[in-house]
Amino acid sequence: MTMTYRGIIPFSGGIDSTAALYTTLTEYPNDTWLVFKVNLINGSAASRTIQEELAVNAILDELRAMGIQNFRYKRLAFDYAQLGSPPVWDSEVVNFAAATCIRANPSIGELIEGAIADDYLQAGFDDRLAKIEKILYLVSEKSRSELQIKFPLQHKNKYEVMKLLPTAILNLTWSCRYPEGDVNWQLQRCHKCATCQTIDQTLEQYPNAFEGFE
Ligand SMILES: [Zn+2]
């Protein structure tokens, strides 16, 4: 029997996609959602792939333990490391894969995007978003009324997005693009990539707001 889903939620284990996931699952507890992780192995960020995978599994376990269970989890891996430095944006691959998933599950009527207010301020963001939408509708073969793209976080800044997550969930997220080695093979945030910088600015601005978050 094919499951019926209200929508699909691409999930990377980062703060924003975790917040989009948490908001959606708790706001619509009577609908079932398809949580979708695309594992991109592209050679430039092997350690990030590992950290994201650990984060995704830990967060989903924590949600289940909290009694939030209105989802199914599907995972797909693409290894295109042989192509050298990635020829496409991660978000394009993720949405292409999500669209093929939507074709296979015709009940899916929504796609949840984790874009936050800060993203819209970046140069070129609107163009990237427009391209993603194009990919989604082309590959899924759905019309705009059959498939809606929802942006639950579009009016929230990083602080507000971090604040809406329970501490136990926030502390399991992984957002750094280039994790760095530490003692005992533990990886840490690089504090240099764009994502780390936004997080560190927020932590600096609100020093005691996020207990246990590093
Ligand atoms: Zn980083």
Backbone phi and psi for residue 47, each to the nearest 5 degrees, phi listed first: -70, -30
Q: For residue 133, is pLDDT > 70?
A: yes
What DSSP state is assigned to residue 191?
S
pTM greater than 0.85 (yes/no): yes
Distance 176 CA to ligand 1 centre (A): 4
pLDDT class of 47 with cuts at 50, 70, 90? confident
Are 103 and 141 contacting, i.e. CB atoms less than 8 angstroms apart? yes
Q: 3-class secondary structure for 93-122?
A: HHHHHHHHHHHHCCCCCEEECCCCHHHHCC
In this predicted model, what pLDDT tens digit does every residue of 54-83 receive, in sequence order? 999 999 999 999 999 999 999 988 887 787
Mean pLDDT estimate for the chain: 92
In this predicted model, what pLDDT tens digit does every residue of 167-194 receive, in sequence order? 999 999 999 988 888 666 788 999 999 9
Q: Report the alpha-carbon distance of residue 69 to residue 64 in Å, rounded.
A: 5
pLDDT for 85: 75
Distance 66 CA to ligand 1 centre (A): 29
In CATH, what is the architecture of 7-174? Answer: 3-Layer(aba) Sandwich (3.40)
What residues does each domain of the chain span?
Answer: 7-174
